[in-house]
Structure 1
Amino acid sequence: MNPNVDWSEAPVDADHWEMTEHGAVWATTGEVAGLRDNGEEFVVNALFPCGDDYAPSFGWPHGQMLDSATPRP
């Protein structure tokens, strides 16, 4: 988690901030449904970028994606 995220800069629909391989993004949580090879259905939660713009890094090192997902307080 990045304790330096300034949520006043976040889009209204953003519920997470995270660093990706391309830069920081504001993200929203959603569900992804799928079908396993054995025909069993599944649903997982995933983060989806909000809009087309990147977010500020708030001091998080570019490329350091692990543990970057920061939920909105």
Structure 2
Amino acid sequence: MKARVTVTLKNGVLDPQGKAIEGALGALGFGGVGGVRQGKVFDIELEGADKEKARADLEAMCEKLLANTVIENYAIELS
């Protein structure tokens, strides 16, 4: 089973890297770009086909390592 975990900063948390990307895109001639936020994507392969256990394991991974839940949100997609 494959999973994709997307981690992004919570609304209200400053995102200096996103601001830098926004400025760089403008400097490259891409007008009208605003509100850029950056994040992380993890593609994870899991053994077994039990979606409930996979989701529970992925949530534990996010809570313990992949995301700083004080300032970040995460979303899990299973396929």
Name which structure has the greater RCO, CA cutoff 8 Å, separation 6+.
2
Structure number with higher strand proportion: 1
Same fold at TM > 0.5 = no
What TM-score, normalized to structure 1? 0.27
Which of the two has higher C-alpha Rg? 2
